[in-house]
Amino acid sequence: MEENQKKAIIEKGKEYFRSIIIPAHLKNVGKLQLKSFNVNPFLVNYLASFLCGDTSSLSLAKALIYPRILGTSINTSFGQNLQVFISSLAEVAGKASGIDGIDIEFTDAIDGRKKYCQCKAGPQTINADDVATIMGHFGHLQSKARLDRLPLQINDLIVGVLYGEPSELSGNYKNIDKTYPVYCGKEFWTHVTGDENFYKRLSKGFGEVVEEEGINGSEIILRKVKEIAAEIDEKGGY
Structure confidence by residue, pLDDT tens digits, 148-171: 888 899 999 999 999 999 999 999
The one-letter code for the residue type at 36 is: S
Q: In what order do the strands lie in the sheet with 157-161?
A: 95-96, 104-107, 114-120, 157-161, 182-184
For the segment 140-153, the average pLDDT, to the nearest whole number, is 90
pLDDT-above-70 percentage for the chain: 100
Quick check: 74 and 22 in contact, CB under 8 A? no
* Angle (nearest 5°) at CA 172 between 171 and 173: 90
pLDDT of residue 73 exceeding 80: no
